Chain A
Amino acid sequence: MTTQDLIEKIGLKALSKFDPREVDGVFVSDMLSDVMAGAQSGNLWVTVQVHKSIVPAANLVDVSAVVVTGGKEVPKDTVELATKHDIAILATDMASFELVGKLYNLGLVAK
């Protein structure tokens, strides 16, 4: 499943510009060190954090995309930095719980 498939199937908004990637597993956390410790390369990272520093974090652990949940507004500088580093920032009004349920039903699991 690719980032593009998810955008279409779940109705996620793509905020940054990026090249589509294969999504392999999901990691849900709002603590950055947790992501550093546990997220695997290619995971979809589900979070409510929107500040600029999520971009280097996403880049360094090499997640396939960041999904910001709960309809949180993502600042422009975060989106711009993400585009610059080819990091996918996706957004949804759904809460993390609801989104994760949908992802699970699509066959995505923790990896």
Chain B
Amino acid sequence: MKIKQIKETLGATVLEGPDNLEIEVSQVYASDLMSDVLAFGKPHSILFTGLATRQAIISAHMAEFKAVVLVRGKIPNDNSVKMARDTDLILMSTDLDMFDACVRADSIQKGKALSSESVSEKAFPEELLLAQELVIEGDDFASAGMVSTGIKSTLKKIGLDNVLIRRIAISTYEAEMNVVMHADKGKVFLTVTPTYVKVVIADQGKGIPDVESAMVEGFSTATEEMRAMGFGAGMGLPNINRNADEFEIQSEVGVGTTLNMKFLI
């Protein structure tokens, strides 16, 4: 099957790769364990994974894969994208979860169109109401909070419920402050569909060595200066966890941190 077919069937976005996706792949390999990819992956395959780190790209390259599809709407950091470019791997991202992505890929292999009865409704990518990409500058305390403020007014214009907007605004503010305090630069990806709002914040920075501790209320690595400004109470990530319906952190020391937040409408 061709990568182009997979892209279209999954409703995936190409993050890195040529315009021409007429490249054949022999099979789909789905895994989040990179040692499995190295042990069992066959050359010329396409990898479906929820791991958006540079290691996933390196492993796919070592196993001689042609392409990587990140499932569950994972957005890789710039280092992962660069690694894909350097190793000539096609890198894509889809909002589908692993199960639905596999079911849809299977339908291409079997050469049959999917009927709505054969898969869950989720397998059909949702209509996008809004997709925005914004930038947060690290260490820029003067503009801290402005990206979240912009997102709040955008969501107000869409006409979402005020209580929901407040939860999104609070979570986004905390994530934005984390980028300002601890990272060099961050990107915000805001997606709105009829059923959910997704905010992904991916930064380039020092990363979090111990995510479990960082999730504990009161844990903070903020400087005295930041605390004097009222930041770094160690409540940022717990606040996000409380306000988001789904919350996931991926962090790599020395590379950066990606927060995935989903709010159901």
CA–CA, A52 to B142, complex, Å?
Answer: 6
Do A59 and B233 touch (CB < 8 A)? no
Stretch at the interface among B30-38, B166-174, B193-201, B250-258: B166-174
Do B166 and A57 touch (CB < 8 A)? no
* B145 part of interface (Cβ distance < 8 Å): yes
Contact partner of A56 (CB less than 8 A), chosen from B149, B229, B235, is B149
Known contacts A56-B145, A59-B152, A60-B145: A32-B177 contact under CB 8 Å: yes
* B148 part of interface (Cβ distance < 8 Å): yes
23 A-B pairs with CB atoms under 8 Å apart are A30-B230, A31-B235, A32-B177, A33-B231, A33-B234, A36-B239, A37-B235, A37-B239, A41-B162, A49-B230, A53-B177, A56-B144, A56-B146, A56-B148, A56-B149, A56-B173, A59-B149, A60-B149, A60-B152, A60-B166, A60-B169, A61-B170, A62-B166
Do B145 and A36 touch (CB < 8 A)? no
Do B148 and A33 touch (CB < 8 A)? no
* Residue of B with least CB distance to A81: B146
Known contacts A31-B233, A32-B230, A60-B152: A41-B166 contact under CB 8 Å: yes
CA–CA, A51 to B114, complex, Å?
Answer: 56
Do A60 and B235 touch (CB < 8 A)? no
CA–CA, A34 to B145, complex, Å?
Answer: 15
Contact partner of A60 (CB less than 8 A), chosen from B142, B148, B242, is B148
Scan residues 44-58 of chain A and give those whose CB is less than 8 A from a CB of chain B: 47, 49, 51-57
What 0/1 readout, one digit per residue, does chain B (192-212) give for beta carbons within 8 Å of chain A?
A: 000000000000000000000
Do B145 and A55 touch (CB < 8 A)? yes
Do B235 and A53 touch (CB < 8 A)? no
Contacts of B170 in A (CB 8 A): 36-37, 60-61
CA–CA, A8 to B149, complex, Å?
Answer: 30
CA–CA, A60 to B229, complex, Å?
Answer: 18
* Residue of A with least CB distance to B234: A33
CA–CA, A54 to B169, complex, Å?
Answer: 14
Q: Which 5 A-B pairs have the closest CB atoms?
A: A56-B145, A33-B235, A60-B169, A31-B233, A33-B233
CA–CA, A57 to B172, complex, Å?
Answer: 11
Known contacts A60-B170, A60-B173: A32-B233 contact under CB 8 Å: yes
Residues of B at the A interface (CB closer than 8 Å) are 141-142, 144-146, 148-149, 152, 162, 166, 169-170, 172-174, 177, 229-231, 233-236, 238-239, 242
Contacts of A72 in B (CB 8 A): none
B142, B148, B173, B236: most-surrounded residue (chain A CB, <10 A): B173
* Residue of B with least CB distance to A59: B149
Say how far A52's CB is from chain B's closest CB, in angstroms.
Answer: 6
Known contacts A53-B141, A56-B148, A60-B170: A36-B230 contact under CB 8 Å: no
Known contacts A56-B173, A62-B166: A34-B235 contact under CB 8 Å: yes
Contacts of A57 in B (CB 8 A): 145, 173
B142, B166, B235, B238: most-surrounded residue (chain A CB, <10 A): B235
Say how far B241's CB is from chain A's closest CB, in angstroms.
Answer: 11
CA–CA, A60 to B239, complex, Å?
Answer: 14
* Residue of B with least CB distance to A48: B230
* A21 part of interface (Cβ distance < 8 Å): no
Contact partner of A53 (CB less than 8 A), chosen from B145, B234, B238, B239, is B145
Contacts of A77 in B (CB 8 A): 142
Contacts of B242 in A (CB 8 A): 37
Do A34 and B149 touch (CB < 8 A)? no
